[in-house]
Structure 1
């Protein structure tokens, strides 16, 4: 029995309990506030304000030296914000959700969120080029345009988006509340862990939280595109399946030969005497009979092949056929006419 996603999609339509989030006024207000916070962080770092001073104070405090007993655990915990492992884990869960809910929307929503994350966060990282705490060269400097790529924090933004997508796709209010709280705790923990390990400034983490939240709040604007892509994928699947069925109908079903037995229906029966080799008739005088012409096309290897051994003739039949030496006088050389036959014409 097939258990793939497309097979389940063929069985029944999308359940009515799945509600696609819309851009409400509340969500729009949250999006505007988060965007304003994002811009404030960027401007504060560009102008080297008190936020940059706070970054340096935390960096010089070196939390990983103050609490070294946490280092081993947090080294593993920060993996929850790494893009590769988290994307695989969440995609596996959403793939099961797609199979159960008979829709590709969960997987396509994750793909759209990760695409937005890579484009927006990656563009700001490369554009500002901020160096990390371990590569800082001047105390009190924002370390911008120094060839780095840590502003905003990719681990933090990825933790917000990857785990927050589970709350975004929740089908019940209760599940949405629990998943929202869980994803918030994971994202906060991952961001603070990067500050503890000294791989990010505090301002990097603040901007990473804002960047991830902006992507989650903007996902309802992507829902029409997700619906179009899902319909296109399913239509492409149907067309490919129809082409495969057409090719299978065009291929003839031939019987399989077993052993040395000929396969019936593959080769039509040949008329008797058509193309069959005819033995050359040789008379007493060595002349060639009329059948010699028909056998002239035989290859030398075929003519030289030894004759098959035939069993001895039954005594009852041998009595009626005398050998050549016991026959009476024959006609002209090479003739097979009986000795007492008469010509067909008179005279």
Structure 2
């Protein structure tokens, strides 16, 4: 007999994912080609050059100070309100939620977890690399600068590289990375580049970042996007493991349940016992415990030769508290009273 459980919402999701996937027959997974390796090396060299230019307080630092003294937010005040909202496209929380919603819908339609796993890997790399660089270099922002003309490095800040710019490159660039066709990938790549550079320049306009912060943040995000093909085998293994875990969990939930209870003579089952009777293991444990610790017997109940009731000597009381009555008759004697009715 097989008992059918009432399908839950999660079961309906799994059944929907088990249908024929609505996706192209072949999805092009990016690989680490020679062209991509060259771009990765060039971007890494640009990253190192920006850091070195700031460390030695080169012309780039002087340009940072000139832009800061120019105060763009005071020169073009009419666009200040718009850019306050536009810079949200580079914040981690709102952008991650929007992109995750889109990629989750794609995972639903295409019966694959790769879009969500790729987003998770890219954001993890972003937090590790950019976060470590921010803490390691500790540069202060324009609003907290202490000395005019200095690079403001290793003073406890956390703005170098620009997190808004790097996050915009990764969050919107992942849409281009996961595009199904080359044409969509080109258009989405151009769109993500425009959004990320616009977010970076907006932070310079608002005075929260130096220009060199934006350049380094753009390079940091691009390095993550170029390195993602190296993590594709890990993403594939994680997807296969998650699907196998889902299948095993679903098989356990829908396992058949036996209709009748096992008989007492079956192998591995316990024998039946009367109501209120202790199990055999409990009785054996109690017997062993009583054998190991015999009970204490009072002296008047000590073992010895016992006689039957007929062999015991009659015991009479040494004295009675009642006075003797001569006219009492024994219980087994006949009554001397006359019969009624004469």
TM over 0.5: yes
Partner of 2:206: 197
| Counterpart among 93, 117, 130 of residue 84 in structure 1 | 93
Residues 154-211 of structure 1: per-residue CA shift (max 9 Å, x gap): 0000000000000000011111111111111111100000000000000000000000
Is 1:216 matched with 2:231?
no
Partner of 2:299: none
1:160-239 map, 5 Å = 160-239=169-248
Is 1:118 matched with 2:122?
no
Partner of 1:19: 28
| Counterpart among 236, 257, 261 of residue 249 in structure 1 | 257
Query: Aligned residues, how many?
Result: 252
Is 1:137 matched with 2:149?
no
Residues 44-63 of structure 1: per-residue CA shift (max 9 Å, x gap): 11111111111111011100
Which consecutive aligned stretches of 4+ in structure 1 deviate over 6 angstroms post-superposition? 1-4
| Counterpart among 160, 164, 169 of residue 151 in structure 1 | 160
TM-score, scaled relative to structure 2: 0.71
Residues 306-335 of structure 1: per-residue CA shift (max 9 Å, x gap): xxxxxxxxxxxxxxxxxxxxxxxxxxxxxx
Residues 80-134 of structure 1: per-residue CA shift (max 9 Å, x gap): 0000000000000001111111111001000000000000000000000111100
1:40-55 map, 5 Å = 40-55=49-64
1:323-338 map, 5 Å = none
CA RMSD of aligned residues (A): 1.9
Report the 3-state secondary structure (helix = DSSP H, G, I; strand = E; otherwise coil) of the residue aligned with 1:217: helix
Task: List gaps (5 residues or longer) in structure 2.
Answer: 1-6, 261-342
Partner of 1:298: none
TM-score, scaled relative to structure 1: 0.70
More RCO (CA 8 Å, sep 6+): 2
Change (3 A) 1:153 1:235: same
Task: List gaps (5 residues or longer) in structure 1.
Answer: 253-347
Partner of 1:68: 77
